[in-house]
Structures are given as structure tokens and as C-alpha cells.
Structure 1
């Protein structure tokens, strides 16, 4: 008789190792998507996630009298004030009419100015006002809070993996649309 503890027999070498089960979320499984979306579960989940995230962000932005997307423009200006409208368009990846409308609203609210560039009067340079600059910390705090809410049920490695995979999916969707 041996003093070694008994171990379960290992599977035969030809059997691939069983995948480790995914860690169970702390919330119940999501409801079934509509029948039409069952062959697009990931796309449906991304849509639901984006909608919920945007709604929560919109509620937080309302407390600062901002509309969704305006904070993205402000963040670009916090990083580098005095950009042209074309540069902002490129950086935020929104369409021209959306950016123009947002900038007009923000100018009317006193958050920024738009003035012709010295080198070309057709080019508009967008600059923050003191009121716009004053939103930097509230917007940063809003994003920190939104991040805490978003990741509260995830381990740090899950956050990193989810973020990486989200960018992979985003790149695939963008490249397919070209």
C-alpha cells in the first residue's frame, strides 16, 4: 500500500484537454434575443451593451448640460486646444454634420469658440473657453465613474481581455464597411 494520495486517472493522450469553463457572471444569463437575431448573438449583445452604456453616459452628461458626443469633442480639445474642425472630425470619427451641429451648440453654450484660421479664412479653428476648460475634471470624473460601473463585476484580466476583443470587433466592423 502506498502513502501517495490517490489521483484521478488522466485522459488518454488522444483526448484533447477539456476547455476550462468560463467564469460565471454574477448576474443571470441574458434573455434570449429575438428569433431574427439568434444567428447574430454577439452583434445583438454589442447593440444592447452600446445602448445601455450610451443611456447611462447620457444621464451623466445631462448633469453637465452636455449631449452625448460633446464630451468626446471636449476631450480632444483638452488634449490639444486650437484644433481645426477637420482635425476634430478625424479624431472623433463622427460625420461632418454631427460634429458641426455639436460644435455650434457648444459655441452657443459658451464652451468653445470657432474662428477662421490666420493661414486660411475658410478653415475654422476650435478653441476652448474658460467655461469649456472648467469641464475637464467633471468629464474625467464622469468617465471614471462610468468605468467603475462598467467593470464592477469583472476581474482586471477580464477587463483587459474584453477591451482587447472589443477593439478587434470594432476594427472588423470598420474594415468591412470600407
Structure 2
């Protein structure tokens, strides 16, 4: 699958070039990830939950959500899909019956190396034109941008100002 370069709405690209670049990069990166994960029977995002379980099997659904900054309902749906695919099982904690633990199945464990290989290919195809120094600068800059976004309180909805002007 070859991603076509996006033709930006002129004002979006001119007025907000950084936001446009982040948006188009994220969209293209996700499409490439989807093409690499599809042969493994996964959709983008599912592998991130599996990475968490490969690092520490038996995490609670709450912990999985906290680690990925996902809400409870999104985690529940993702875990259900992984369970239907035979990659994980769910069980109640013996210490606290309110807690649902997620465990890898044999099939889920068997996907670790193929998924890690897909991510290595994703990384290489994404950054093959960058030097090691440029990759480091990009990663550092992206982390700073993310920290700035996360440190900024949500803005009030702009709809109120639009409605007031009508």
C-alpha cells in the first residue's frame, strides 16, 4: 500500500504548518502500521496492548488503560476483540473480585516476535531517510511536543464564541 501525499487545505498548511505536518504524518504512519499488522490479524493499537502484556503478563484492564492513556470503555472493547481472536483471556483477580486481569494465550505469546519485526520494519520505513542524529532530534522534539500538549489544559469549546457571533 503506497500512501498518497496529502494535498493540504491551503489555509491549514499555511496557517498551521506544524499541526498539518503532525496530522499527515500520524495518518500515514497509522496506515503503514495497518498494512504491516494486517497479515498478523491485528489492527493498529492492538499491538500496543500486546506489548504491555509481553512486558508483564496478567495486568489489570485498568493498568492497561493507564499505561496507554485510554479510557475504560476503549480498553474493554480492545480486550474483548483480542479475546475473540484467541490472543488473551480475562479473569477476575483472586485478591479483588472487582479487578479484571488480562493474560496472554499461547497464540498471543507466539505473536511477539512477528509483531516486533513488523514494528522494526515500521520504524525503518518511517525513518530510513534520517541519520541517527536526525532520528534522535526528531524523537526528542516529538517528546517535547507531547509533553507540551499534555501539560496544557483543554481549551474551552470554540462553539460558544461561534454561537455568540450569530
TM-score, normalization by structure 1: 0.80
- SS of structure 1 residue aligned to 2:101: strand
Structure 1 range deviating more: 75-84 or 93-102: 93-102
Residue 115, structure 1, aligned to residue 91, structure 2? yes
Kept after mapping to 1: 8 A contact 2:12/2:20: no
Kept after mapping to 2: 8 A contact 1:33/1:41: no
Aligned residues: 149
Residue aligning to 2:129? 153
Structure 1 range deviating more: 92-101 or 158-167: 92-101
Q: Residue 32 and residue 128 in structure 1: after superposition, are their counterparts in 2 closer, same or farther (change >3 A)?
A: closer
Unaligned runs of 5+ in 1: 1-29
Separation in 2 of the partners of 1:36 and 1:63?
Answer: 35
Residue 105, structure 1, aligned to residue 70, structure 2? no
RMSD: 1.5
Residue 52, structure 1, aligned to residue 33, structure 2? no
Residue aligning to 2:142? 166
Residue aligning to 1:72? 48
Report how far residue 73 of structure 1 moved.
Answer: 0.2
- SS of structure 2 residue aligned to 1:63: helix
Separation in 2 of the partners of 1:135 and 1:108?
Answer: 15
Residue 131, structure 1, aligned to residue 129, structure 2? no
Separation in 1 of the partners of 2:8 and 2:56?
Answer: 45
Report how far residue 176 of structure 1 moved.
Answer: 1.2
Deviating beyond 6 angstroms after TM superposition, the runs of 4 or more aligned structure 1 residues are: none
Report how far residue 34 of structure 1 moved.
Answer: 2.2
Separation in 2 of the partners of 1:112 and 1:86?
Answer: 16
Unaligned runs of 5+ in 2: 1-5, 155-166
Separation in 2 of the partners of 1:81 and 1:32?
Answer: 43
- SS of structure 1 residue aligned to 2:102: strand
User: Match for 2:66 among 87, 90, 94?
Assistant: 90
